[in-house]
Amino acid sequence: MQFNFKRISRFAIPVSVGMAVAIFSLSAAASAISDFQSFTSSTQSGRANFEQVVIDAKGKTTQRTSGTLTFVRPGKFRFQYEKPAQVIVGDGKKVSFFDQDLNQVTVKKFEQAFSNTPAALLAGKGDIENAFTLVASADTDGLTWLDAIPRQKDAGIEKFRLGFSKGQLAAMELNDAFGNRTRLNFSKFERNPKVDPREFVFVPPKGADVIGEEAAAK
């Protein structure tokens, strides 16, 4: 009996390619999840600058802004935006959203608002994998990406994405249910810096309208 090597080759090539892709995908998945687990286990606090870009469902850039992020686990974080001037502060019990242009502060219970912010993956109070399904994504832009899909569907958030470069957090994306994508590119990331606890205490400016949990409590 003679073997048809041409037939074997035609069969073996796609199988070999498929096996290579599968092995590569498993390796990428392990790398992405490993990077994230290593980052969260070794990072109790962090500080970074960021550039934020918002892209709509048609691929058009609708907003560019920048600012700083500070967080301390568990549950404390501060996003300080430059233009438009906005602040988002979580103190572990509530989250305050301040819009300087409107001179308005919106306060929500921590559990209600926290899962809708990127800080949920950085400053999580509990087991992050209980709140998110973690799935490795394709490597792009020279980064290893991890998708974090909220287990509790709420507020139109489809998923968060974290991009790592050599184990260091380099980018984060938020994809909403309407096809919009918000991307934060981090720079000058400091791991485990000393942070003044007062950074997570937000006092509404005098004369600002306060709505939400705080207003109801007064």
Q: For residue 214, what pLDDT is reported?
A: 53
How is 41-73 classified by DSSP, letter by letter?
Answer: HH-SEEEEEEEEEEE-TTS-EEEEEEEEEEEET
Q: For residue 158, what pLDDT is reported?
A: 86
Q: For residue 62, what pLDDT is reported?
A: 95
- Angle formed at CA 65 by CA 114 and CA 182, multiple of 5 degrees: 50
The yes-or-no verdict on residue 218 having pLDDT over 70 is no
Tell me how crowded residue 107 is: count the other CB atoms within 10 A of its CB: 21
Q: For residue 25, what pLDDT is reported?
A: 36
C-alpha–C-alpha distance, residues 45 and 123, integer Å? 8
Q: Quote the pTM value.
A: 0.77
Mean pLDDT of the chain: 80
What percentage of residues in the chain have a pLDDT greater than 90?
46
Domain that holds residue 145: 5-217
- Average pLDDT over every residue of 181-204: 95
Structure tokens at 202: 């937000």
Query: How many distinct structural domains can be found in the chain?
Result: 1
Contact by Cβ (8 Å): 148, 161: yes
Q: What is the CATH number for 87?
A: 2.50.20.10
**pLDDT, tens only, 148-190:** 888 776 657 888 899 999 888 999 999 988 899 999 999 999 9
**pLDDT, tens only, 3-41:** 343 443 444 434 333 333 332 333 444 577 888 888 888
